[in-house]
Structure 1
Amino acid sequence: MTGFIQITDTHIVAPGALACGRSDTAEALRRAVATINAKLPSLDGIDCVIVTGDLTDHGAPEEYAHFTSIMAELKRPWLAVPGNHDTREPMRAAFPDAAWMPTQGPIHWVRELGPFTIVGLDTLQEGARHGALGSEGLAFLDTALDDLGDKPVIVATHHPWIHAGIPAMDTDNLHDGAQLMARLEAYPGPIRMISGHVHRAVVGQIGRITCQIGPATCHAVLTDHHAARDPQLVLEPGAITVHRWVETPSPGFVSDVIPIGAFSGPWPFSD
């Protein structure tokens, strides 16, 4: 089996600071990295870690430097797409030697993982909370999908298209998501969309496409299904998502949300 781990919405701030004055996002990311490293021996075929946006809270160079110093402990390579809290040029400048980082323009990339491929798409609209691919992003996706034929694909974005049922977040998702979905629906092979932004684990179906939002490593957004309320931060436990391609009982993608931290056990199911 081949797979990767998704982390999202790390929201790293300057050393010693707290996001929103309350959330120790750096410690949360350290715990996420430690959890991944500890789990790797029992996880089969994990190739890399994908960060689906909001690496930092303000897109500042010192925040990217702090993010880089924490991720240096990770025992797998990582790739990232920006979120609405990122800024594209400081992010590009922070990772100039990364093979996946384009030298200019939106931060789109393709990663081959044997039986399937990940297409990372930049949905950042600087100065706005919502996301969009625009003509350039949609053209990049068209080319990538044409090149892949019918090979299984995961499309990774920061902003989702599926609504999570939290109105304060749903208004800020992918504004040209219908155009994206039309392309995914038309693709002849297995395809899934994964995203971040909502800070919660949410799964839904749009047509034949499974759309999955990963939980944040740090704080969550409060589940509140009432309209006209601002999103609120809640210090729920963070988590990571393990995505794998499995062959049995039928070929397809399987995902497992794993809480961050060290817990008692394991023990056999016997007295």
Structure 2
Amino acid sequence: MLLCQITDLHVTRPGALACARVDTARSLRRAIAAINRLSPRPDAVIATGDLIDTSHPSEYEVLRACLSELTVPLYLCVGNHDHREALRAAFPDHAYLRTGSEFVQYRVDLGALTVLVLDTQDPPNAGGHLCDARLTWLDEQLQACAGRPTLVAMHHPPFDTGIEFMDGLGLSARGRAGFARVVSRHRHVERVICGHLHRSIQASVAGAPEVMASTCVSTAHQITLGLAPGAPGSIALEPPGFALHLWQPGAGVRTHLAYVGPYDGPYTFDGESVS
């Protein structure tokens, strides 16, 4: 089972640039073209939130047009930049978005692997939260899929990263504690995949150290790596990319970071071009 994760697409309305610099729709189309060329072909793509940038009505229209170019099944997750009802309206054919709940969260079984998509949105705050209702849903779903290897997808990561200004916009302390309490009871959680940070970061979940969580680079711009206390928040035009989560029986989940070009190669170790 090969899952592709894209995140923090931040698609803008036509003619607008994210952070006054980044053509995010163009960047997303480049990422999609790279994903469509992959061999082996991913079994599914999971987009872990911040699909649009400002909630302008036309942004979801642009997003849908971009994502229509994908040639593999797609599953969507909300981030703090998203709007639940506008997302549902823009993707009426994605039945999993409409479960009768306020929250955009659902279960999908992909072969032997179960994916649980969790809603961490806490409007109007940029930070995330997991209320009792969402944690109860997660606990019930994990009980229902006991014995199946399970991956949890959510926007805000359940750990501090050391990038101070982003940690100030992270998942609430109560949400982190509740999440750890739930997942620690279920030994079949193999990975938690998240967005929000625009960087590739891995950490165990505090309170559930046997559970590994990770974030992913954006298909557009990245958050500057600022680990010094008080480092100002900023973006860097580092290479965009996506993650590939490979699950195999007996081996669990292994994650590969893939960059979106252009870049040279591949070459043999003798410097010859590989056709």
Q: TM-score range by the shorter chain?
A: over 0.9
Q: CA RMSD in A?
A: 1.5
In structure 1, the partner of 2:152 is 155
For residues 129-140 of structure 1, what are the structure 2 equivalents within 5 Å? 129-140=126-137
In structure 1, the partner of 2:12 is 13
In structure 1, the partner of 2:217 is 215
Q: State the distance in 1 between where 2:84 and 2:126 align.
A: 14
In structure 1, the partner of 2:194 is 195
CA contact (8 A) 1:130 1:159 kept: yes
CA shift for structure 1 position 263: 3.5
Q: State the distance in 2 between where 1:27 and 1:84 align.
A: 22
DSSP 3-state at the match of 2:97: coil
CA contact (8 A) 2:226 2:232 kept: no
**Residue 244 (structure 1) aligned to one of 223, 243, 246:** 246
Q: State the distance in 2 between where 1:61 and 1:80 align.
A: 18
Is 1:264 matched with 2:264?
Answer: yes
Q: State the distance in 1 between where 2:240 and 2:48 align.
A: 15
Opposite residue 61 of structure 1, the aligned amino acid is P
CA shift for structure 1 position 127: 0.8
Residue deviations 1:124-180 (CA, integer Å, cap 9, x gap)? 111101101212211210111010112111110000012211010012111111110
Opposite residue 223 of structure 1, the aligned amino acid is L
CA contact (8 A) 2:9 2:28 kept: yes
DSSP 3-state at the match of 2:151: strand
CA contact (8 A) 1:242 1:258 kept: yes
Opposite residue 33 of structure 1, the aligned amino acid is I
DSSP 3-state at the match of 1:241: strand
CA contact (8 A) 2:128 2:170 kept: yes
Opposite residue 64 of structure 1, the aligned amino acid is Y
Q: State the distance in 2 between where 1:151 and 1:259 align.
A: 31
Q: State the distance in 2 between where 1:146 and 1:215 align.
A: 31
In structure 1, the partner of 2:75 is 79
In structure 2, the partner of 1:180 is 179
**Residue 61 (structure 1) aligned to one of 57, 74, 84:** 57
Residue deviations 1:71-106 (CA, integer Å, cap 9, x gap)? 111111211111111111111211122021115510
CA contact (8 A) 1:243 1:255 kept: yes
Opposite residue 256 of structure 1, the aligned amino acid is H
Opposite residue 166 of structure 2, the aligned amino acid is M
For structure 1, which runs of at least 5 residues remain unmatched after alignment? none
Q: State the distance in 1 between where 2:230 and 2:47 align.
A: 30
Residue deviations 1:197-255 (CA, integer Å, cap 9, x gap)? 000000112311111001111101111123334420111110110011123xx421111
DSSP 3-state at the match of 1:186: coil
Q: State the distance in 2 between where 1:262 and 1:232 align.
A: 24
CA shift for structure 1 position 16: 1.5
In structure 1, the partner of 2:44 is 48
CA contact (8 A) 1:190 1:252 kept: no
**Residue 90 (structure 1) aligned to one of 76, 86, 103:** 86
Opposite residue 177 of structure 1, the aligned amino acid is R
CA contact (8 A) 2:183 2:189 kept: no
CA contact (8 A) 2:222 2:238 kept: yes
1:131/1:37 Cα in 2 relative to 1: closer, same or farther (>3 Å)? same
Amino-acid identity (%): 35
CA contact (8 A) 1:4 1:48 kept: yes
CA shift for structure 1 position 57: 0.5
In structure 2, the partner of 1:164 is 161
Corresponding residue pairs, total: 265
CA shift for structure 1 position 265: 3.2
Opposite residue 122 of structure 1, the aligned amino acid is D
TM-score computed with the length of structure 1 as normaliser: 0.93
For structure 2, which runs of at least 5 residues remain unmatched after alignment? none
